[in-house]
Amino acid sequence: MTTDQTQAVSTVSETLLHLDDVCKHFHVRGHAGGGRATVKAVDGVTLDVRRGETLGLVGETGCGKSTLARCMTRLYDLTAGKVTFQDRDISRASRRALRPLRREMQMIFQDPYGSLNPRRRVGSIIGDPFAIHGIGDRKERKDKVQQLMQRVGLNPEHYNRFPNEFSGGQRQRIGVARALALQPRLIVCDEPVSALDVSIQAQVLNLLTDLQQEFGLTYVFITHDLSVVRHVSDRIAVMYLGKVVEVARTDDIFEITRHPYTKALLSALPVPDPDAADSRERIVLTGDLPSPINPPSGCRFHPRCPKAQEICSREDPPLLPVLGDEGTHLTACHFPLEVGESLRPRAEASGPERGIPR
Amino acid sequence: MVRFLILRILQGLLVLWLITVGVFGLFFAVPSNVARTLAGRQATPHTIALINHRLGLDKPIYQQYWDFIKKASHGDLGYDYYHQLSVTHIIGQALPITASLALGAAVLWLALGVFNGVVSAVHPRSVADRGLTVFALFFYSMPSFFLGLMLLFFLYFKLTLAGFQWFPAGGYSPLAEGVGEWARHMILPWLTLALVLAATYTRLTRSSMLDVLGEDYIKTARSKGLRERRVIYRHALRSALTPVVTQFGIDLGQLIGGVVITETIFSLPGMGKTAIDAINQQDLPVIIGIVLFASTCVVVANILVDLLYAFLDPRVRLG
Amino acid sequence: MSMGSSDVRFDEDVAAEVELGAAPVEGRSPWLLAWQRLRRDRVAMVSLAVIILIALIAIFAPVFTHFTGHPPNQQYIRQGTTTSGLPLGPNGKFWLGTDNLGRDILVRIAYGARISLAVGVVATLLTVAIGVVVGLAAGFFRGIVDTILARLVDVVLSVPFFLVAIALVSIAGPGLTMTVLVIGFFSWASVARIVRGQVLSIREREYVEAARSLGASDLRIMFVDILPNVLAQVIVYTTLLIPVVIVTQAALSFLGLGLQPPTADWGGMLAESQTFYTVAWWFVAFPGIALLVTTLAFNLFGDGVRDAFDPRSGR
């Protein structure tokens, strides 16, 4: 889905969802390391989701993207910060107050085998949203469900089948149908294709983009797979250890990479041409992802960052445009990269990054 | 670890306290006629009231409860008016018998049960396995009192008739008077108790072992070339035994009450039989004392099992 | 790669269609699958037949009286006992012999089946119902509710069963109601513990999250999403609980804490037979065998049910 088509679908680019310094901390009752601990899964995220766009959210496992997704749809209560949906502040809303809103924002989950109740028929699962919100009688619901099934590419006659009779890709489509039922404005997709075979991934992704065009949907697309996110997103936000480190239009992220972490992520993308693969700069980050219980001081990336200097361990860099970027491109870094700048530290020679020595 | 232990003990104390309250409350919902019986048939209400007062039975409930707790914490569990003995003394006499029965049977059923279970699991669907499974199912479904009566019939009655006076019909011979006699009296009770439980443990061990043997790390051990016997005994058995240990702890704790049937059939004056007799005589102090003592055993057993579990499986300690 | 049109059938759908092919459009529910597996299990089916037979015997116990002419509590001192007042062995008049009071053992066993099955099934169902509700509440709501309920369950499970049964009976007197109450009092806790464990793990599953994100109420999630997935385990446990309850009831009667004479009850009959076992083996054997067969049948059937819900190779 290209940027042009996005512009064609949305009239005015208004903000559908606004996150303002959102924090989500979990208390862990562990004896390991002694006593209580706080997992700072999301620690101060400010983000916009614009109507009609697809915002990609990427990061390593454990960076907090799934938690953020659930904060967005208020499946979790916020520890701090504000969430505004369609200009309404829903940060402190009770479950009862949120209920009508649930028609407007939905989620698609990652695990095709876990996200459907194995003991319920598929028609009933897809029809759940109607039943919960008291829409239509049984006949009407059945018709709508079958229409939905048809729309996502399932045979409407399989209305009475159970999830275990469907393949992984088909199950995800059931999940899509369920999310689509009430015609929401926003759908948050939490790694919707990560558990599928690559060939099936393409089909489901295409379905999602078709639906977006047809129904004017807005997506937040969460994944750890960069090649996928490039294909579907208008904008991309990169997360690291509970914070957003860079957010920009898709092309800008790939061509004008500012944050060292983003650069490292991109360098890990497989490239089909072996020669090009060998010749490009491959960055291997040292160390593991630190624990979100005890994030590093200042900029969280500084222990692994080849460009880190003293200030990085003291001050957490703010998320703003750098190096003359336009307002849509925000970076949180004290020493953002110039275009084409190498990420290797000065003392680095060839070494293990180059793979098998010739 | 220490913190875990302290927490567990506190929990156990809480449970015990709740039990004492419950037991006490229940019993004092019913008026006791101890005084009346002691006073004799001709007694006037005045005499009865006097005896009540002397025994402290006319004080308000919470007062009596408090007195009871105070005494109990010093080991004085009350007085049995019918037999003119302290409850502690009665329990002291009954305990060795129950202990002999319980512990002897425990050794038997553990050995039998675990061994059979392992053999079954290691040779699944073989003749031995099928035979043992049938055996286990049969005894698992057998009510222990029926088994006891059958053992008496065949191994005492028929055998004695045939001239082999191997086993007595019941009664207890203290250990102090000779191990041989003691064992001879205990064998049938041991079998009655142990066979049923052995069947349970055979089933438990078998299914647990089968689970463990299917695990990947066992395949790894085998592919490393370890001898099969070593694989089974050193690696598999250790993990497979965890649920068995848990169950054993629970059973041991509950055993104090569970021996009631066996003691009744074989006329062994242990805790169970004493409790039954106390019911027939409406002897409240004895009943309360035994119930409390047994509950304490159960709570202690549970704590020990939890400790052992925490020791075996570090994940438990770390919450 | 975009396929565009919405009516296009994806490749894998076509393949799946071919696979499922002639399968009926009606879905094959997990319940149906389990039932089919159970039906194929011959041992389980035979046990079921035995259980039904015992149930029939219980229901039609009066038929036994009708045919033999002997009511269950009727004492036949002259024809039913020896000259020294001892029980008579199986003969033409009394097919399974008599007890020490000259009563027809065959008829008493038939009537005893009523007690065993009634208590076994009713008491079990009642306690399971309570246990499920408690377990659901504790596992789902967690927090304070869970803490209190879980502690309660712990206390109940820490109590030595027989001794407390003895204690309770000493207060309130023996009898059928007492038996059911006592057994019920202890059984619900183990069910609750199991259900709670299940609920705790199920509530973390994604489909529960999905239901929440759709705006489903707590009650709906509990009964539509969680309960059906707990039910399988509950059913297995219930089937295996019944024989335990039956034996426990008989044991209580055996100790004189349950039903009292002259009620015909297998446990009570075994108790009475103790004094006469050397001279009247039938008095011990037949009630005992009745108990054994009943328990065995339920256990075998229960094993079959468990395997039907959770088939594992190599078992």
Q: What is the pLDDT of residues C76-118, one digit of tens each?
A: 877 777 777 788 888 878 888 888 888 888 889 999 999 999 9
* Overall size of chain A counted in residues: 358
By Cβ distance, the residue of A109, A162, A202 closest to C206 is: A109
More confident residue, C75 or C130: C130
Residue A29 to residue B319, Cβ atoms within 8 A: yes
The residues near C214 (Cβ < 8 Å, ≥ 6 apart) are A102, A106, A128, A129, A132, A178
**Interchain contact B31–C (C-beta under 8 A):** no
Domain boundaries, chain B: 2-74, 89-312
Please name the member of A153, A161, A178 whose beta carbon is closest to the beta carbon of C10.
A153
CA distance B193 to chain C (A): 14
More confident residue, A227 or A278: A227
Residues 6+ apart with CB under 8 A from A293: A28, A37, A38, A39, A40
Angle formed at CA B303 by CA B28 and CA A30, multiple of 5 degrees = 120
The pLDDT assigned to C5 comes to 40
- In this complex, do C170 and B282 lie within 8 Å of one another by their Cβ atoms? yes
Identify all chain C residues contacting B138, using CB atoms and an 8 Å cutoff: 296
Q: How far apart, in whole angstroms, are the C-alpha atoms of residue C25 and residue C27?
A: 6
CA distance B124 to chain C (A): 7
Identify the chains in contact with B, defined as 3+ C-beta pairs within 8 A.
Answer: A, C
| CA B258 – CA C160 distance, rounded (Å) | 8
How many secondary structure helices (H) and strands (E) does chain C include? 15, 0
- At residue C57 the predicted structure's pLDDT band, cuts being 50, 70 and 90, is very high
Residue C204 C-alpha, separation from nearest chain A C-alpha, in angstroms: 10
Q: What is the pTM of this model?
A: 0.79
Residues of chain B positioned with their CB less than 8 A from the CB of C292: 141-143, 146
Residue of chain B whose alpha carbon sits nearest to that of A28: B319
How far is residue C13's CA from residue C140's CA, in Å, rounded to a whole number? 38
Task: Report all structural domains of chain C as residue ranges with CATH numbers, in order of start.
Answer: 34-314 (1.10.3720.10)
B287·C288 Cβ contact <8 A: no
- Taking an 8 Å cut-off on Cβ atoms, the answer to whether C160 and B282 are in contact is no
pLDDT of residue C85: 75
In this prediction, residue C315 has a pLDDT band, given cuts at 50, 70 and 90, of very low
Percent of chain C with pLDDT over 70: 90
pLDDT, chain C, mean: 83
All domains of chain A, ordered by start, with CATH?
13-118+183-255 (3.40.50.300), 119-182 (no CATH)
Q: DSSP class of residue A320? A: B
Distances (CA, A) of A31 to A36, B6, B318, C271: 8, 14, 5, 54
Q: What confidence tier does A226 reach under pLDDT thresholds 50, 70, 90?
A: confident
- Chains A & B: contacts with CB separation below 8 Å: 9
CA distances from B219 to A347, B204, B208, B212, C64 (A): 46, 22, 16, 10, 59
Interface of C with B (CB under 8 A): 151, 154-155, 158-164, 166-172, 243, 247, 250-251, 254-257, 267, 270, 273-274, 277-278, 281, 284, 288, 291-292, 295-296, 299-300, 303, 314-315
Query: pLDDT tier at A233 (50, 70, 90 boundaries)?
Result: very high
Mean pLDDT over B220-243 rounds to: 76
Chains with 3 or more CB pairs under 8 A to chain C? A, B
pLDDT the model gives residue C280: 86
Q: Closest approach of chain B CAs to the CA of A27, in angstroms?
A: 13
Contact C166 B279 (CB under 8 A): yes
pLDDT tens, residue by residue, B146-170: 999 999 888 888 888 887 777 877 7
pLDDT at A188 over 70: yes
- Min distance A117 CA to chain C CA atoms (Å): 6
Query: Taking a C-beta distance cutoff of 8 angstroms, is the pair B164, B157 a contact?
Result: no
% of chain B exceeding 90 in pLDDT: 11
Q: Which residues face A222 on adjacent strands?
A: A57, A190
Cβ pair A117:C209 closer than 8 A: no
- Please tell me which residue of chain A has the smallest CA distance to C210: A115
Q: Is C46 on the interface with A (CB under 8 A)?
A: no
- Partners of B126 in the β-ladder: none
C247 near B145, Cβ under 8 Å? no
Q: Which of A107, A165, A178 sits opposite C27 (nearest CB)?
A: A165
- The type of residue at C296 is L
What is the ipTM metric for this complex? 0.82
Confidence of residue A174 (pLDDT cuts 50, 70, 90): very high
**Looking at CA atoms only, how far is residue A292 from chain B in angstroms?**
19
Amino acid at C310: D
What fold does the segment set B89-312 form as a domain? MetI-like fold (1.10.3720)
Chain B hits for A37, CB-CB cut-off 8 Å, are none
pLDDT at B42: 59
- Cβ-Cβ contacts under 8 Å, A114 against chain C: 205-207
Assess whether pLDDT exceeds 60 at residue B38: no
Q: Closest residue of B to C252, CA-based?
A: B261
